[in-house]
Amino acid sequence: MPVITQNTTQLDLTAEQLRELLYQMHLIRIFEETAFEQYAAGKVHGTMHLYSGEEAVAVGAIAALRPDDLIASTHRGHGHAIAKGQDVREMMAELLGKETGVCLGRGGSMHMADLALGSLGANGIVAGGIPLAVGAGLSMKLQHRPTVVLSFFGDGAANAANFHESLNMAAIWQLPVVFICENNQYAMSMPVKQAVSVPRISDRAGAYGIPGETLDGMDVLAVYRAVRRAVERARQGNGPSLLELVTYRYKGHSKSDRQVYRPKEEVKAWQDKDPIPRYQQWLIEQGYLTEADGQAIRAQAESAVEQAVAFAEAGPEPSPANLLDFVYFAEPEVQARPGQVLPAWIKNTFGPATPINPPAGQREVSYAEALREAMALALEHDPRVMMIGEDIGVYGGAFGVTQGLIDRFGPERIRDTPISENCIAGTAIGAGMTGMRAIAEMQFMDFVTLAMEQIVLQGAKIRFMFGGKAHVSMVMRLPAGSGTGAAAQHSETLEAWFVNVPGLKVVMPSTPYEAKGLLLAALADNNPIMFVENKLLYKIKGPVPEQPYLVPLGQADIKRRGRDLTIVATGIMVWRALEAAEQLAREGLEAEVIDPRTLKPYDEKTLVESVKRTGRLMVVHEAPLIGGFGGEIAAMVAQSEAFAYLEAPIVRLGGADVPVPYNRTLEQAMVPQVGDIAAAARKLVKYQI
C-alpha cells in the first residue's frame, strides 16, 4: 500500500518537545509490556488490546493538539490515553481493577477515559466512538469553541456503518473532526486487503467531499505534520479530514489471539520499521539527542511504569457496597408539592420561578402542542439545548410536533439530519456529554432498533464505565404505538427494552399536561432519557399551563380514585382504563386508575399503597404481554408488603405476541381495548382467594 512520507526537516517543535515525543513513545511501549506481564501473572481481569508498535500514531497525532482539544479512542486505547496525559499510575490501577483506577475499577482496559483531559474515552465497540466524536464536534461548533476532535479507529471500523454515517454527517455540517484510521493491517484476523474494496482507506474520503491522505504511521513526525494540517484546517472552520496512518500491531488482537493468520516474517519486517528506534536515531542525527540521552529517557519511562505498578498494587478494591454508584447522575430530589419553586440547580434552565406540579388551569392545548411548547421554552431559556432528527425542521417531524421551531431558533439548533439513526443517536450522546442538552427524535419508535448500539452500549453505560467522570444530557423522543394503520415496522411500543438497560431513564406521559412537564423535567435531567410518546395521543387536548413547569420524574399520578381494584396503565391505555372505569362505576364497581408516568424510575410507594387499599391489581400496557413492563409491576407488588393484602391473583393485559397487523380489525384485536379492560376488571373483582 503506497504511503506519503512527510518532510521532517522543517518543524515547529522545540528540542524539548521533540524529546518529549520519544519519552511518550517509550512510556507507551513499556506500559504495554508491563501490562502484558501483569496479565500473565493473573492480576488483570478480562482481556487487553495492546498498542505496541503503533506508538507513533497516538504520540504524533495528539502532539498536534491543544490541551483543550478532544479525542475519542478505541478498544486499543492505552496509547491514546497516555499521549493525552492520563496518569499511568491510575491507568495501571484500572487494569488491576482498583478503586484508585482512572475509572475507579469500573471500566477496565477498554474504557480508559478522563473528560477533564479532553478524552471522551476508549471504546469496546468497533467504530462505536466515531459518532460520539461527531457529536462532540457539533457541540464545539454550537458553543463557538475553537476546539478540534480527533476520532481514532482501526481499519476494521472503516467498514462499519458508523464510519460512513459519521463522515457524511461531519462533512455536510463542516464539523471540526479529524478522522484517524489506524490501519494496522488486520481487523482481528481479517487482512485489510480482503476487507476493503479500494486501494487505500483514505480513498473513501472523496465520497464525502473531504480531504483524505495515506501516510506512514510508523513515522511520528510524518504523523504530527499531517495531523497538524488537518487540525488547523478544522479549527479554521473548513471541516473534517480523513487520515489513514499505516502501522502495525506487534501483539495479537487481544490476549486470546493465537496469531495463526499472519506469518512471523511479516511481523519481523514491520518490527524492523519500529517507530521508537527510528525516531531516536533521527534525533541523534539531528543533534537533539545523544545515545546516553536516549537511554536516560527510556530509564525515566521504566521508572514511571514501575511506580505505576507499585501504586496499582497498593490500591484498594472497590467495595460491593458502592456497586450502584455512578449508574445515574444523581440530581437533588424534587418534592411533589404543588406550587413549589424549582431549586437552584434548575433555575437557569427554565427561568427563576418554575413551579413543580402547578394547577393545570383552564387553557387547553393538544399533546403535540404541549411537547412543542416544552421544547420551545427549553430552547429559549437554555442556549445549550439543541435538536437533531430527520425532517424536524420545515416538515416538523413525521407527526409535525416540532413544526415552527426552526423558524424561531434557526437551522443551527434545529438540525435536520440524513437518514442515519445510529449516528443521530451517537451525535446526540456525544453532544450531551460535552456541554449540550440534546433532543433527538426518531421518526417512529421502531427505528430506534437501528440506533441500539449507540443508545445501549454508549449512552447508557458511559457514566458508569468512566467511574462517574462523565454524564450524558440527552432526551430521545420516540413516537410509538399502533392504531394508525402503519403495520409491523412503524407501530411498535418498545419501552420494556429500555427499562431493562441500566443507565437509561424511561418516560411515558399520557396527557398534554404531563407531556409538557415531564419533557421539561427530562431536559433538566443529566441522564439519557427515552421519552415515549403514543402517536394516538398527539391530537388529544387537555389543560396545560402556559408558563414552564416541572412534573418530576419517578412520581405516579392517581388519575381516578377507587376502592375495588387498582388498574396501573401506561400511555394510551391510561385513557382506555379511565373509560373502562366509568363503565364499571355505572355497575357499582370503583376502579382506581394509576399512571406511573415514568417507567424508570417508577413510583413503587404509590402503587403499593393503592393495592393495599383495593386488594386487587391489574396492569395494562400496549406492548406485548410477554416481557412487558407489567411483569415488573406485578413482581414488585408480589414481593412487597402489598402481597398480604391481595384478595385475587394479579392480572396483566398486554399486546398479543404478534407483529402489528395492517388490517384495522386485526390491529385493534392485538392490543387491549376498553371492553377488554372492563371485562377483565369484572372478573378480577368477582374472584375470591
Catalytic residues: 490
Which residues is 414 bridged to in the sheet?
387
Least Cα distance to 605 among 615, 616, 594 occurs for 594
Cell 514491520 -> residue:
270
- Alpha-carbon distance of 255 to 59, in angstroms, equals 24
Backbone dihedral angles phi then psi of residue 126, each to the nearest 5 degrees: -60, 125
Angstrom distance (rounded) from CA 222 to CA 529 = 43
Q: Which three cell numbers, joined as nine digits, stand for 11?
A: 518543524
For helices 421-432 and 129-142, give the axis angle rounded to 10 degrees: 60
CB 331 within 8 A of CB 526: yes
Residue 327 to residue 470: CA distance in whole angstroms: 11
Among 100, 96, 99, 54, CA closest to 78: 54
Nearest to 304 by CA among 94, 114, 88: 88
Sign of the alpha-carbon dihedral angle for 342, 345, 349, 353: positive
Residues 6+ apart with CB under 8 A from 246: 1, 3, 183, 214, 215, 216, 217, 218
- The pairing of strands 340-341 and 355-356 is antiparallel
- 425 is written with which cell numbers? 443517536
Q: How far apart are CA 354 and CA 52, in angstroms?
A: 55
The residue type found at 684 is L
- Nearest Cα neighbor of 220 from 86, 82, 2, 19 is 19
How many other C-beta atoms can be found within 10 angstroms of the C-beta atom of residue 270? 17
In 459-566, where does DSSP find H-type helix? 462-465, 495-499, 512-524
What whole-number distance in Å separates Cα of residue 18 and Cα of residue 63? 10
DSSP state of 550: B
Residue 422 · residue 131 · CB < 8 Å: yes
CB within 8 Å of 295: residues ≥ 6 apart:
none
Within 13 A of 49's CA, how many CA atoms are on the CB side? 22
The interaxial angle of helices 15-40 and 88-95, nearest 10 deg, is 20
- Residue pointed to by grid coordinates 393484602: 645
Distance CA 565, CA 582 (A): 13
Grid cell locating 453: 448500539
- 200 alpha carbon, distance to own chain's centre: 31
- Cα separations (Å) of 57 from 146, 179, 248, 491, 573? 23, 12, 10, 47, 56
> If you ran DSSP here, which 8-state letter would residue 5 be given?
P
Selection from 444, 449, 454, 506 nearest residue 475 by Cα: 506
CA distance 248 to 370: 55
DSSP state, residue 659? P
